[in-house]
Structure 1
Amino acid sequence: MFDILAILTSAVFIVWIFRHLKLPAILAYLVAGMLVGEHGLAWTQAQVDYEHFAELGIVFLLFTLGLEFSLPKLVAMRHLVLAVGSLQVGISLVLFMSLALLFGQSLSSAFVIGGILALSSTAIVIRQLSESGATKRKSGQLAVAVLLFQDVAVVPLLIITPMLTQEGESSMMLALIVALVKGVFVVGLLWFIGKWLLPRVFNLVAQVRTDELFVLTTLLVTLLASALTQWFGLSMALGAFLAGMMLGESQYKHQLEADIRPYRDILLGLFFVTVGMKLDIKVLMSEPVLIVGLMVSFMVIKVLVVRFLAVRAGESVKDAWAGGIMLSQMGEFGFVLIALASQMSLLSVEVASALLGSGVISMAMTPYLINNARRWSVWLSHDRKIDTHELEHLPQEKELSDHVIICGFGRIGQTVSRFLKQEGIDFVAIDIDPLRVSTSREAGEKILFGSSRQAELLHAAGLDKAKLVVIAFGEDKQSIEVIQKVRSLSPKVPILVRTRNDDQLDQMQQAGANEVVPESLEGSLMLVSQVLSLSGVPFSRIIRRVQRERKNHYNHLHGFFQGEHTDMSSGAKGRIEFAHAILLTDDAYAIGHTLLSLNLASRRVHIIALRRGEQEIEEPDEKTVLMAQDTLVLRGKPRRIERTERYLQKGE
């Protein structure tokens, strides 16, 4: 029990610090493991007992990855999986094995070292790609394709490693053939179950309309698929991935992902804690040159191998460099191989410690490498322009001028484009979804593939001659980054931003947006317009009311009363304004004071209304004197409302 408490306490505290410093949570978990492990404060001793639970984090991660990959998409990626993934594992293994032999390792030890260093971290890379939205980029798809083959390659490596202490090549070949037959059988079995049985099971569960049963069924399916592949001697993660891939075709895909996410994140965190526990600071300090040299060497070699193979497979040089940088670290299955090889006495304590130290440091660096891979790949490839094949389908009957740039060509972006066409206004769209770009180009649309945050794409879209930029993502963080990039390149072009609500309205305007249109608030205004119209209010008065709200930046629509399911997390509390009613008790400090003398505006809260008995006064006069049993309805952020209520009641 003390072990679990130590892990949770350190993880919560360190993750909190790292997130405030805007550092990746993965790095925080690694540091937490170093702190509580046997090489740190030694608060935990029996890490073997919960390493099995930590492995479930990878299982759930691969299940959610499978949900994103349909079988047709996997077939479409087969050239990357086979041409790049297989050769990357094979060539890297031979290179690292040869180097290990040069440094005096035995043939068996060299083979194990080659296998360990050839693998990359599925858990870290996929999580970082998902968080950054880079899985849709070519470089992200390249990295995922290689990782998929590496997960398959783990199986023969786990089979061969224990056999290296035995004599006889025939027994090893027989074991590999048996493993291959098992793999084909279990993949076919899971495909049949996932295609025909699981959708019917989830249909029955969904009809019950019980959230708990749906979650339990999701967990059961994931673990059963993992147990099946493990029983056949294959990777648990492979079974979870296959189950997710089959269910990714069903209508329950998004609900399944939402159900599994909390368990995945918690167990992944535990996995990274256990990885951090393996790092011995003393070894790191005693042989820093060896550790750093080993890490730099294998990372550079892996980058060069992936870059060479990706270009050979037809990928651009820029994407090849980016994919190599993303895959340069050691993988989590490498630690499993290190532990297995150490048990079989295939690796000495010194070699195992050096591999662990360099591996953990390379994994800790991975979030930083992935975040900067795109920028570094542009510099390494000397390709500072957008790829020409992205522009060749853009109609060029006339030079773009006085046109509109639409960033994001989803449903909203396409709706905007249709109205622009009707008015004869030229536009160019930018979108990162390759399928949407392809189908739109086939229909003759002017659209570029890529991220709107890239200066090259904005220049290619003719930003210097555009009369308006429309940002139609609906994702606030990405929108702010695009606003900043557009404003840095063109200080005067008007920017119109679509957002789902008013959480980041001020930040977007500060970043340089001229107009921000919150969907939820505009939808409310349209609904109000219909309600007032059907209630008999003159149309001219409705128009004036709506225009006044827009002019006042939706002032009356910002605050709302929180409900049971309202997001009250620390992040939400810092963004959203809520409406809150404060009843003044008979001994309240504010009684007898005017609203002007209380100066509530200085506390950055706004008065929506004053309710006195049966009377409700909207926007009361500042000279109004407050009385006992008055109810003030205020709008503001939760912490400011709390402080204001204490001031009104107690004068503090």
Structure 2
Amino acid sequence: MIHRAFQRIWTGIALFALTIIVAVIGYIALGWTFSDAVYMVVITIFGVGYGEVEPLDTTAERIFTIFVIVAGTSSVIYIVGGFVQMVTEGELNRAFDTQRKSRTIAKLNDHVIVCGFGRIGRVLAQQLDEAKQAFIVLDNNPERVAMAETRGYLVHTGSASDEACLQDVGIERAKFLATVLPDDATNVFITLTAHELNPELLILARGESITTEKKLRLAGADHVVLPSSVSGHRIANLITQPTALDVLAQNNERTALNELLTQIDLQMEELEVKKNSRLLGRTIGEVEVRAKGAFIVVALRQLDGETINRPGVSLSLNVGDVLVLLGHEGAIAKFAHRYQYQSELSYQGGPV
């Protein structure tokens, strides 16, 4: 519709320009000068009404002037009509889209509310879509909203911490709510608000810090997901299988694995213990304590080539040991810099 309106505007402009050219040439052909012809065309088409530049004595002059008035006025009206059509249809389309979306949301029942369309939110929405589970995405970021709409998801623009927005997406009829924002405080507030609006709602909340889990459960979360912990256990289980060691040894498989982990803001990397490292002689447990939840140790590759899966917390680090770490992107580099370990940070063929 909008395309047709633009086409109409450009057609009107072309007709208007053609009318002016033909009118000027016509008056010149009737014996007028170029300046008189242009002036006559302007005051005639725009209806200024200053009077004729020269007397219109002949029938041909009068008929031609009538043609100029009709053609010029019609082309202007056509152009204005195109603009009106463009504005009207654009507003109507937005109104119809809003009304359609409202009707769809009103029909939702036992659906899932996904609060936040970040990396985890996108993975979650994709899985729900593939499972044919009814869901709606709630986000206040225009770029993320546009991205969700492009993928064909039902989206509502607004803050998930706002009661009115939660009511707009049918929280009283929803079965699940998943708040997967990267900010713990916001997830706690959303959990608390959602639980008050619908005590029967099953709430799944994302937590960045282990200490947040208790707060989320007190706020009303039925399940708390700590991406680093969940993924750590999963990767550790994979490592205990023989095929998992092959995955860690092949660059193309490591890249694919990291791409998967990146979707949930995680990265698996190798960190070698150098002879001047401050971590030399420390235990695995001490390393994880100093990391403060930034990453976990899923494996240890010793200098002699032996790989220890899920190493014990009492195991000490020696020169040449390589730690296989799973944590948030950039967390290992920050940890290394903090403990004067940046210069000794090395990756075995790049990130694992």
Q: TM bucket by the smaller chain?
A: 0.3 to 0.5
The structure, 1 or 2, with the larger RCO (C-alpha pairs under 8 Å, 6+ apart) is: 1
Please report the TM-score for the alignment, with normalisation by the length of structure 2.
Answer: 0.42
TM-score (ref. length: structure 1): 0.23
Structure in which a larger fraction of residues adopt strand = 2
Q: Which has the higher helix share?
A: 1
